[in-house]
């Protein structure tokens, strides 16, 4: 029998895959809206996440590989899109398709929906392409009414279970579908108030202590509550219940939480969600039942241990909601040995099949194990690296897939600071909980999401402290450096979301108490108020009073500080190995934006292959140097300017020498001065003017007068960049002297130097032509002075591409350029007509209104500004086929932008030192994606 079943399953799998693949393409025309799964068969399969959502596709896939899944069906994401595109109406055939599939589920489970003998109950859940934990709505136990509950009690012989299921259903249906929830000013959930009353009357602590009769009272009270507040009767007909629930799930795609989540993770609204309707199985029927969630490996560290928790006699949401504290999965071996053994087998099977860490939900109903969900587990950056590299060793995946699997941005988790161990030892520990999000965070405590957002906007470092978080807290969690909860387990909402965001998180610190009314947090005899400092160690789960000094991560200690102990750590070793792999695949070069020798040294350790941008003006912020720049700007004749430039040249030359030495033969793109005037003279107060007056021999009144004369309404679009060099060629000449004299000095000592002199803010080819003349003439003079031949002091001249006109006329500009470097900060500013300094006030509104998916100054606007980049590349290379082209705006360290630059054919990206590992990884991913590889598709 067993072998026969296997053979059937294999055949089913093959044919189902084929059928499903053709169905995916045909679905729009054939209008198949509902896909069945269960009983060893499925209409769809795991590859159809776009159509069935992640949950639906994987339920189908589990069904196909012989894992026990309660039967059900998936209403596709296309129905969701249709629903929104057609004024919340459904395709005409949908009702009938649902009816047909209910019949199939009834057959597979041997129960009937709405039946008064052996009733089938259903769960209704959302399931988008990418999981959005807790953001959308779920309804469990659907299909109960006053008659069905009696039938259920009779059939199971467990009246308490039947009434408990009924009250849970009412609670969910009432709040989600009928929208009866806590009202404004009401501090407690009205359903919980009724439950608390029942528990007080019955003198029990937990919900599970209530008897069937007491639960019956709760059900009656819930119904009264719903009727009173909504003005409507709760629908007794199971079909009506189902329609309401499906509507609610589709509507929840556009609730506030889901929108915030989509924005954060760049999920397009057009994707829509699927709805999964599935037969209920019950973990709350007594001591041989239970429910749990697990990861096939530790999602915080990546360690290869089965990691999860479960509750006996409970339903799914109890584990995640943190209402009862679950037990670690290992204990299941004693409580439910048969199911535990089976679960371990499924763990291995799932990892082998999906070739990735799985995050599973399961339920045991009277000794029978059912898998309710599997999906690739969300993990921290640490875990992502560990798991990917371990899986290569275990031969589950190839190196290429390991590279594709690690979200490039998450590499920054490995570079995040950790507490100084001496300072941590000295700190007063006020509590501890589960280490749910690794890293070290210190900040001021706030007890609500709202306060956290406000404090973070003021620039404070915030620790959000909650008993438990809920999806409503999302904005606060985004704003906080760290999150502390006093309730809930390792898979509570706080833990899941924090892990995904890479936030430091300690959860379930049971030895601490929060008093929201008083605004206090108490632990170990210490009471802290809102605004007091707290520190979290998310690696071990410790909570400390005060602000603990943090120190660099192991990767930083090993890589930058050259510490032997850190170099032995697994994290360091794996990080280094991964970086080696990325370099063997990427085509894009990775350079750094650095202005000092120290930054350059650091960047090289991170893997920089040269400098893509040194901003000359950034050398002037140190010590009193700014005085000379101010003197130069304020000078109203050539003589005064020359005097100031002489001073400037001295420290410029010194700095360039340091930078060239640190580069040790690598190329250096040095951008000529680009000082927006307001950054240098716009902010001077009276005392500063007085001080400067003494130093430069110009009266304070004269300084004020000159500042007024130089005042610009739009300094970002004013007399800056090459415009300054064209007005005052001596400004350019002095810098070129400093660069080339420094190069000659360093070269003399045996270090190769490759200066690339870059002209900023070019709009017209003629601007570059004029500046190149000055550069070449000055270079000739420097060579003459130093007695060097042309071949003995080399340099190249290129331009920033940061004004749309330069991109539109790139073929002309390229005539005078040996390289281009896109300044995407200014190109975004000028391309969008959006100030890079002032736009933050409405960017959020724009993201809320879905005008923007991302902040365009962080992730390149590929459709708009990207087009300018493409034109610049095309135009430039039409004049000079091999023109070297890079990018040095902030986007050089943003993974999605790096991939775009790869596709556009740039030679390198340049970013700040700490973003270099991220850029290297993203560049390797881009190269692999170009070969047609995608995450999960490398075999
Ligand atoms: C740019 O505009 O992208 C750039 C790198 O220059 P800056 O940020 O100095 O204006
Ligand atoms: Mg710029």
User: Is there a contact between 710 and 633 (Cβ–Cβ < 8 Å)?
Assistant: yes
Q: Global pTM?
A: 0.79
- What is the distance in A from the centroid of ligand 1 to the CA of 761? 9
- Residue 753 tokens read as 């130097």
Closest C-alpha to ligand 1, atom 3: 823
User: Is there a contact between 928 and 404 (Cβ–Cβ < 8 Å)?
Assistant: yes
What DSSP state is assigned to residue 208? G
Active site residue 888: yes
Cα end-to-end distance, the chain, whole Å? 33
Sheet holding 122-128, edge to edge: 41-42, 34-38, 72-75, 273-279, 122-128, 138-142
CATH 3.30.1490.20 for the 1-143+238-279 domain, yes or no:
yes
Cα separation, 799 vs 756, whole angstroms: 10
User: Is there a contact between 285 and 156 (Cβ–Cβ < 8 Å)?
Assistant: yes
Block residue for tokens 């991302």: 854
Residue from 585, 888, 891, 911 carrying the catalytic annotation: 888
Nearest ligand to the C-alpha atom of residue 828: 1
Cα separation, 847 vs 857, whole angstroms: 13
CATH 1.20.80.30 for the 146-236 domain, yes or no:
yes
Q: In ligand 1, which atom is closest to the CA atom of 615?
A: 9
What confidence score (pLDDT) does residue 865 get?
Answer: 98
User: Is there a contact between 480 and 469 (Cβ–Cβ < 8 Å)?
Assistant: no
What confidence score (pLDDT) does residue 399 get?
Answer: 96
Residue from 493, 585, 618, 891 carrying the catalytic annotation: 493
- Residue 406 tokens read as 């690690």
Nearest ligand to the C-alpha atom of residue 761: 2
Cα separation, 268 vs 105, whole angstroms: 32
Give the contacts of 378 (CB within 8 A, at least 6 positions apart).
Answer: 131, 133, 299, 359, 496, 499, 500
User: Is there a contact between 744 and 785 (Cβ–Cβ < 8 Å)?
Assistant: no
- Residue 832 tokens read as 């969008």
CB atoms within 5 A of ion ligand 2 belong to: 802, 823, 826
824 touches ligand 1 (CB under 6 Å): yes
Phi then psi dihedrals of residue 611, to 5 deg: -100, 130
Ligand 1 pocket test: pick from 889, 910, 911 the residue with the most ligand atoms within 8 Å of its Cβ.
889
Instruction: Taking the CA atoms of 101, 102, 103 and 108 in sequence, report the sign of the dihedral they define.
Output: positive
| Chain-centre distance for alpha carbon 253 | 19
Is 586-615+653-672+726-930 the same fold as 416-551?
no
Taking the domain 290-376, which CATH number applies?
3.30.470.20
Q: In ligand 1, which atom is closest to the CA atom of 888?
A: 5
Q: Where are the alpha helices (DSSP H) in 203-254?
A: 212-230, 238-252
The SS3 call for residue 440 is: strand
Give the contacts of 14 (CB within 8 A, at least 6 positions apart).
Answer: none
Query: Topology of domain 586-615+653-672+726-930, per CATH?
Result: TIM Barrel (3.20.20)
What residue spans define the domains of the chain?
Answer: 1-143+238-279, 146-236, 290-376, 416-551, 586-615+653-672+726-930
What DSSP state is assigned to residue 833? T
Closest C-alpha to ligand 1, atom 4: 823
- What is the distance in A from the centroid of ligand 1 to the CA of 685? 27
615 is in an annotated binding site: yes
- What is the distance in A from the centroid of ligand 2 to the CA of 460? 29
Q: Where are the alpha helices (DSSP H) in 714-794?
A: 722-727, 729-748, 765-786
The SS3 call for residue 298 is: coil
Closest CA to 308 of 324, 332, 328: 328
What confidence score (pLDDT) does residue 500 get?
Answer: 61
622 is in an annotated binding site: no
User: Is there a contact between 462 and 443 (Cβ–Cβ < 8 Å)?
Assistant: yes
- What is the distance in A from the centroid of ligand 2 to the CA of 826? 5
**Total residue count of the chain as it appears in this document:** 939
Query: Topology of domain 416-551, per CATH?
Result: Glucose Oxidase; domain 1 (3.50.30)
615 touches ligand 1 (CB under 6 Å): yes
Cα separation, 423 vs 368, whole angstroms: 51
β-bridge pairing 796-801 and 754-759: parallel
909 touches ligand 1 (CB under 6 Å): no
Nearest ligand to the C-alpha atom of residue 595: 1
Cα separation, 443 vs 532, whole angstroms: 8
Question: What is the mean pLDDT, run by run of 10 residues, along the chain of 939 residues?
Answer: 36 39 38 91 93 95 94 97 94 96 96 96 93 80 96 92 94 92 80 93 88 96 95 94 95 88 83 96 89 93 92 78 78 95 96 94 94 90 94 96 94 85 91 86 95 94 92 86 86 73 86 94 96 93 93 90 94 96 97 92 96 87 80 89 93 95 97 82 82 88 89 88 95 97 97 97 98 98 97 97 98 98 96 81 79 88 97 98 96 96 98 93 97 60
Block residue for tokens 């509104």: 845
- What is the distance in A from the centroid of ligand 2 to the CA of 676? 10
- Residue 22 tokens read as 């053709």
47 touches ligand 1 (CB under 6 Å): no
């Amino acid at each position: 029998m067993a072998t026969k079943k296997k053979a059937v399953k294999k055949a089913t799998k093959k044919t189902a895959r084929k059928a499903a693949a053709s169905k995916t393409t045909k679905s729009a025309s054939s209008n198949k809206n509902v896909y069945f799964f269960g009983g060893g068969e499925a209409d769809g399969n795991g590859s159809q996440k776009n159509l069935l959502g992640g949950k639906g596709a994987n339920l189908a896939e589990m069904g196909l590989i012989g894992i026990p899944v309660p039967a059900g069906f998936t209403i596709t994401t296309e129905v969701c899109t249709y629903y929104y595109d057609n004024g919340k109406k459904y395709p005409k055939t949908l009702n009938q398709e649902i009816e047909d599939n209910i019949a199939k589920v009834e057959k597979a489970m041997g129960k009937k929906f709405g039946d008064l003998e052996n009733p089938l109950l259903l769960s209704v859940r959302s399931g988008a392409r990418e999981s959005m934990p807790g953001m959308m709505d779920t309804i469990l136990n659907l299909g109960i009414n006053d008659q069905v509950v009696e039938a259920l009690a009779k059939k199971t012989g467990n009246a308490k279970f039947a009434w408990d299921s009924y009250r849970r259903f009412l609670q969910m249906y009432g709040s989600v579908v009928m929208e009866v929830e806590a009202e404004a000013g009401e501090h407690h959930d009205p359903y919980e108030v009724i439950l608390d009353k029942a528990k007080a009357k019955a003198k029990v602590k937990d919900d599970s202590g209530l008897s069937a009769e007491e639960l019956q009272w709760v059900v009656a009270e819930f119904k009264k509550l719903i009727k009173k507040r909504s003005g409507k009767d709760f629908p007794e007909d199971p079909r009506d219940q189902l329609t309401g629930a499906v509507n609610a799930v589709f509507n929840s795609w556009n609730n506030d939480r889901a929108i915030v989540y989509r924005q954060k993770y760049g999920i397009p609204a057009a994707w829509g969600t699927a709805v999964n309707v599935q037969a209920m199985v019950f973990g709350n029927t007594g001591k041989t039942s239970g429910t749990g969630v697990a990861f096939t490996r530790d999602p915080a560290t990546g360690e290869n241990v089965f990691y999860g928790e479960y509750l006996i006699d409970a339903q799914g949401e109890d584990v995640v909601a943190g209402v009862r504290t679950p037990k670690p999965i290992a204990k299941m071996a004693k409580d439910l040995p048969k199911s535990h053994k089976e679960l371990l087998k499924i763990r291995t099977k799932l990892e082998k099949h999906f070739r990735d860490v799985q995050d599973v939900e399961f339920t045991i109903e009277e000794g029978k194990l059912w898998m309710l969900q599997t999906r690739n587990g969300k993990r921290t950056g640490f875990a992502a690296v560990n798991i990917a590299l371990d899986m290569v060793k275990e031969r589950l995946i190839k190196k290429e897939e390991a590279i594709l699997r690690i979200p490039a941005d998450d590499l920054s988790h490995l570079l995040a600071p950790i507490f100084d161990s001496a300072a941590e030892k000295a700190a007063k520990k006020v509590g501890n909980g589960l280490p749910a999000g690794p890293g070290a965070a210190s900040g001021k405590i706030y007890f609500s999401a709202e306060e956290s957002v406000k404090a973070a906007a003021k620039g404070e470092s915030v620790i959000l402290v909650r008993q438990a978080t809920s999806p409503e807290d999302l904005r606060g969690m985004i704003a906080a450096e760290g999150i502390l909860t006093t309730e809930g387990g390792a898979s509570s909402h706080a833990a899941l979301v924090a892990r995904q965001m890479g936030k430091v998180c300690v959860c379930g610190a049971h030895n601490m108490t929060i008093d929201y009314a008083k605004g206090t947090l108490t632990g170990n005899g210490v009471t802290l108020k809102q605004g007091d400092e707290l520190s979290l160690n998310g690696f071990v789960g410790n909570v400390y009073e005060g602000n603990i000094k943090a120190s660099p991560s192991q990767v930083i200690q090993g890589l930058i500080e050259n510490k032997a102990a850190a170099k032995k750590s697994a994290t360091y070793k794996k990080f280094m190995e991964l970086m080696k792999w990325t370099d063997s695949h990427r085509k894009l070069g990775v350079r750094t934006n650095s202005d000092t020798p120290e930054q350059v040294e650091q960047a090289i350790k991170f893997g920089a292959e040269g400098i893509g941008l040194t901003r000359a003006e950034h050398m002037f912020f140190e010590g009193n140097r700014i005085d000379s720049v101010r003197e130069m700007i304020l000078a109203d004749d050539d003589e005064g300017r020359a005097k100031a430039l002489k001073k400037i040249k001295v420290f410029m030359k010194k700095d360039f020498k340091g930078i060239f030495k640190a580069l040790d033969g690598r190329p250096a793109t040095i951008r000529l001065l680009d000082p927006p005037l307001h950054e240098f003279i716009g902010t001077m107060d009276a005392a500063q003017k007085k001080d400067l007056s003494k130093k430069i021999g110009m009266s304070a009144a004269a300084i004020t007068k000159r500042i007024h004369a130089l005042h610009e309404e739009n300094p970002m679009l004013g007399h800056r960049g090459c415009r300054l060099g064209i007005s005052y060629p001596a400004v350019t000449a002095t810098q070129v002297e400093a660069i080339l004299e420094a190069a000659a000095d360093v070269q003399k000592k045996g270090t190769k130097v490759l200066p690339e002199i870059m002209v900023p803010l070019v709009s017209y080819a003629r601007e570059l032509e004029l500046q190149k003349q000055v550069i070449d003439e000055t270079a000739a003079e420097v060579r003459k002075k130093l007695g060097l031949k042309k071949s003995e002091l080399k340099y190249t001249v290129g331009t920033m591409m940061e004004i749309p006109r330069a991109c539109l006329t790139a073929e002309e500009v390229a005539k005078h350029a040996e390289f281009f470097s896109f300044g995407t900060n200014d190109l975004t500013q000028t391309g969008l007509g959006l100030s890079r300094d002032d736009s933050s006030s409405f960017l959020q509104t724009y993201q809320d209104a879905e005008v923007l998916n991302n902040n365009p100054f962080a992730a390149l606007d590929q459709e708009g500004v990207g087009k300018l980049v493409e034109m610049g590349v095309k135009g430039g290379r039409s004049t000079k086929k091999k023109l070297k082209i890079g990018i040095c705006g902030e986007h050089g360290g943003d993974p999605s932008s790096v991939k775009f630059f790869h596709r556009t054919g740039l030679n390198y990206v340049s970013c700040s030192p700490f973003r270099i590992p991220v850029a290297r990884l993203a560049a390797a991913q881009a190269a692999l994606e170009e070969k047609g590889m995608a995450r999960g598709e490398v075999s």
